[in-house]
Amino acid sequence: MTIVILTKVFFSALALVIAYVIHKVIMKSIDRFMSTFGREIKAPKTLSLLIAFLVYGFAVAGVLSIWDVNLTPYLTGLGISGVVLGLAFQEPLTNFLSGILVLVTRKVFEGEVVDIDGQSGTVDIIKMNHTHLVTFDGKLVLIPNRKVWSGTVTKFWPGKYRRNEIDVTVDYSTDMKLVESVLKKVLEDEPLVIKDESVTNMVVFKSFNASGVTYTVKFWAERETFIDSLNAVALRIKKYFDEYGISIPFTIVEVRNKN
């Protein structure tokens, strides 16, 4: 009897080890296959999770077979409790099916910068029940897949470029045509600003304010230099304004003391 149990334990452990090895081999094979075409796997964590789910599912089925476990009597005997369990597992099941739909339709994918119902960040991995989102300040947010599937998703980088904006206010005494031409020169001279036929950089009048005239400088940048382009354009605006004698107004507070 002891030998039979030990044999079953050995083959059960062997089945799990084989599943582990198969999972690793499949992932390495996919990686090599993609490398031959000079491409990378876009969602390695999510793909690894799906393959593991399938491989270990077969392994668990094999282990149950080794131990002669027949689930039919248990499933038949659930009766009313099955309804209770069905209600209890309704939420996880909905998240699981929604996760499959998210993966199949690629509504979001690993490494993508998105906003999901007000939560912004980078998609780390799409698991069976939750999508893991790493926020810009380093927090990990677990969003139920049903919310990802049914909610509003904003993709910050649907294309190669994204538009940036800077508001600039100048003094009322400044020639407006001069301001517009200087700001356009800033966009032409700044190397981090994209000059491409597919995008348009522009300088647009915004408003007459209490302290001056405000313009909005709209320009396109690549993802890798999006923040750097914002700083570079701001520095160049200040430099060119100084060279052309264009002043940026600031609030002056006058305090009067009545004796």
Mean pLDDT of 65-75: 68
The domains of the chain, with CATH numbers, are: 1-103 (1.10.287.1260), 107-155 (2.30.30.60), 161-244 (3.30.70.100)
Long-range contact set of residues 147-150: C-beta below 8 Å, sequence gap at least 24: 147/116, 147/117, 148/98, 148/99, 148/102, 148/107, 148/108, 148/116, 149/98, 149/99, 149/101, 149/102, 149/107, 150/98
Percent of the chain with pLDDT over 90: 44
d(CA 211, CA 115): 35
Cβ-based burial of 100 (10 A; exposed 0-12, middle 13-18, buried ≥19): middle
Mean pLDDT of 218-241: 95
d(CA 17, CA 56): 10
Residue 80: CB atoms within 10 A of its CB come to: 7
pLDDT per position as a tens digit, 139-188: 999 999 999 999 999 999 888 899 999 999 999 999 999 999 999 999 99
Q: Which residue has the higher pLDDT, 257 or 221?
A: 221
Mean pLDDT of 11-30: 83
Percent of the chain with pLDDT over 70: 86
pLDDT per position as a tens digit, 95-139: 888 888 888 788 898 889 999 988 999 999 988 889 999 999 999
Among 7, 53, 61, smallest CA distance to 26 is for 53
H-assigned helices in the chain: 2-36, 44-66, 72-76, 80-88, 90-105, 145-150, 176-189, 226-244
Q: Per-residue confidence at 33, pLDDT binned at 50, 70, 90?
A: confident
Model's pTM, two decimal places?
0.63
Q: Which residue has the higher pLDDT, 28 or 153?
A: 153
Q: Tell me what pLDDT residue 81 has.
A: 52
Q: Tell me what pLDDT residue 85 has.
A: 46
Cβ-based burial of 231 (10 A; exposed 0-12, middle 13-18, buried ≥19): exposed
User: Which range among 17-21, 65-69, 77-81, 142-146 shows the weakest confidence by mean pLDDT?
Assistant: 77-81
Q: Tell me what pLDDT residue 106 has.
A: 83
Q: What is the mean pLDDT of the chain?
A: 84
